[in-house]
Amino acid sequence: MNLEFNIAVHALTFLSKHSSERFSSVELSSKVCVNPVQLRRVMSKLLEEGYITTQKGKYGGYRINGNVLDTPLSNLFKLFASSQSFGRIYTGTKESDCKISNEMSRVMSNYHRKEFEIIEKYYQNISIGDILNDILMEGYNEKV
């Protein structure tokens, strides 16, 4: 899990609950508890993917685009985890005369790919609606 994925889930859940309203980046970032720059980075990807709409001007802001309650979290996980920059996360090098060092990056990369697939599969069965229902049922005994 990474912060951008969490921001996306939080923002879409909040906007789904308040589907008839628009929120500026400052308002929404306050609700999501991140700075507006972080929020706008995530929201631009959600806009590109059609999850939200934006309107400029005095009464503008972000708004949910239709019903995203059935959106599986795996869609968001792929969108944000696959674009995450890991930098150097593997040790070893092909230039080493050590067999372990030669192969470590390849082997760990394969494990990392499998880890990604397992997590993606897990999130296929959880939707934005599930997140919202978990929150509402615990705090308010309501359900969407």
Both structure tokens of 2: 């990474």
- Half-sphere exposure of residue 101, counting CA atoms within 13 Å on the CB side? 7
Size of the chain, expressed as the number of residues it contains? 144
Q: pLDDT value at position 87?
A: 59
Question: Among all chains, which residue has been given the structure tokens 């929020």?
Answer: 39
Both structure tokens of 144: 């969407």
Q: pLDDT value at position 94?
A: 85
| Helix (H/G/I), strand (E/B), else coil: 53 | strand
Please list the pLDDT of the chain residue by residue as tens digits (144 residues): 689 999 999 999 999 999 999 999 999 999 999 999 999 999 999 999 999 999 998 888 999 999 999 999 999 999 998 655 555 677 888 888 899 999 998 898 899 889 999 999 999 999 999 999 999 986 555 555
Strand partners, 63: 53
Strand partners, 72: 127
What is the pTM assigned to this prediction?
0.83
Strand partners, 127: 72
Q: pLDDT value at position 31?
A: 96
